[in-house]
A = this chain, B = another copy of it.
Amino acid sequence: MGKLVTEMLKGTLEGIVLAILGRRPAYGYEITAWLRDRGFSDIAEGTVYALLVRIEQRGLVDVRKVPSEKGPPRKVYSLNAQGREYLEEFWQTWSFLAERLEQLRKEGPQT
């Protein structure tokens, strides 16, 4: 989609992935496909994997290896208690930002 989205994703992609994991456990390849499906057409695979490593190291998710019939074993991530807490914080921060931006847009030129 372009540079604009790329920059905006910094800081939000993490929340997006956590939100996905908040619904049900998932593995990297699956998450990437899901994102592409939803319009994030050019999210790099490497980006998602790197992000997963990060949130794992921060202790926001639990991991377990699950054999696949079609390739190497999958690393299935699931949101733990700490992750849910962090996701809650993320939504609050997002609301803060979204509200202010919506207001700016509403006000428009000359206010």
Binding site for B on A (CB under 8 A): 1-2, 4-12, 14-16, 19-20, 22-24, 38-40, 89-91, 93-94, 96-98, 100-101, 104-105, 107-111
Q: Which 5 A-B pairs have the closest CB atoms?
A: A7-B11, A8-B11, A10-B10, A4-B93, A19-B104
On whether A23 and B109 interact (CB within 8 A), knowing A8-B12, A100-B39, A104-B16, the answer reads yes
Which B residue sits closest to A110, measured CB to CB?
B23
Q: Are B1's CB and A93's CB within 8 A? A: yes
4 further contact pairs, Cβ within 8 A, besides A5-B93, A9-B97:
A9-B11, A10-B10, A23-B108, A40-B100
- When distances are taken between beta carbons in the complex, the residues of chain B under 8 Å from A107 are 23
Which B residue sits closest to A11, measured CB to CB?
B7
Give complex CA distance A108, B6 in Å: 25
What are 17 A-to-B residue pairs whose CB atoms are below 8 Å?
Answer: A1-B93, A1-B96, A2-B93, A6-B11, A7-B14, A8-B12, A8-B94, A10-B10, A10-B11, A12-B101, A19-B105, A22-B109, A23-B108, A39-B96, A94-B101, A98-B98, A98-B101
